[in-house]
Structure 1
């Protein structure tokens, strides 16, 4: 990858450099995801991560968060439930609603994935200078904020 672009360079060049550099992050992320057992599709894994982040989420909201349709998410949840990773519950306050929660096995799988990702990133970060690590975190936070739909 080329050095950092000066401020006067076109955004297209910077975007290309970021896309190239992000490839290593995405590759490590995907490698960690492939190491979980049972093997899950990216949509199944996304669903588990969303349910972990939003315990008690319903099917409609999960479909919205995952960027897919409710019937597909319902079938997806059927498979995750059959695998023992997800559970549908009816809350006592609203018996018509169905909430999704991770089972202990589902939570264990997600936590193992996070630990694996953290190890892979730690290995790469250990080969960087402290100032480079600080710059990376600062840049990723700024990128995340700029890309957040709620921020704009």
Structure 2
């Protein structure tokens, strides 16, 4: 078993482009991107909370989810998911329909207005990101694209935390 490097370990002080040396720069970029993402969404036709946007996005990706499925996808409790859906339904962004074969199950789906709001948010985010990328040189954008593709190919959902122990495989 190998001890993974933690924040206080001497081994963590890598030089150059090692993972621990680049991590703070990437963390800063993620924070700036999150702010850009959030600000772009706030200018949309309808201003929604992060939870509301995530719920609409979940229904866009998996139409017909029931309340339990939505709660699981958002990692929230059923009562919270129900109140969230109440607000989204009142705003005309989602609708509840009885399942055609299971009378006690209610399916959730986006309304045309809900799709319009998501499209507006996506368009604003793409524009804001494009404007930020315009400040980079073409070769920098290409390098960023290559790096992001490589990052997405890793199993970031299982990334170890400082102090975790992993096997050598």
Coarse TM-score class (shorter-chain normalised): 0.7 to 0.9
1:68 aligns to 2:106 (yes or no): no
Residue 20 of structure 1: CA displacement? 1.0
1:94-109 alignment runs, 5 A limit: 94-109=102-117
CA separation of 1:57 and 1:13: change in aligned 2, threshold 3 A: same
1:3-152 alignment runs, 5 A limit: 6-7=16-17, 9=18, 11-149=19-157
Indicate the SS of the match to 2:135.
coil
Mapped to 1, the partners of 2:145 and 2:77 lie a distance apart of 34
Structure with max Cα Rg: 2
Unaligned runs of 5+ in 1: none
CA-to-partner distance for each residue in 1:100-150, whole Å, 9 max, x for gaps? Answer: 110000000000000000111111122222221122122222223324538
Mapped to 2, the partners of 1:16 and 1:129 lie a distance apart of 22
* 105-114 or 130-139, which deviates more: 130-139
Mapped to 1, the partners of 2:126 and 2:62 lie a distance apart of 21
Q: How many residues align?
A: 146
Indicate the SS of the match to 1:149.
helix
Greater RCO (CA < 8 Å, at least 6 residues apart): 2
TM-score (norm 1): 0.85
- Which structure dedicates a bigger proportion of its chain to helix? 1
Mapped to 2, the partners of 1:26 and 1:59 lie a distance apart of 28
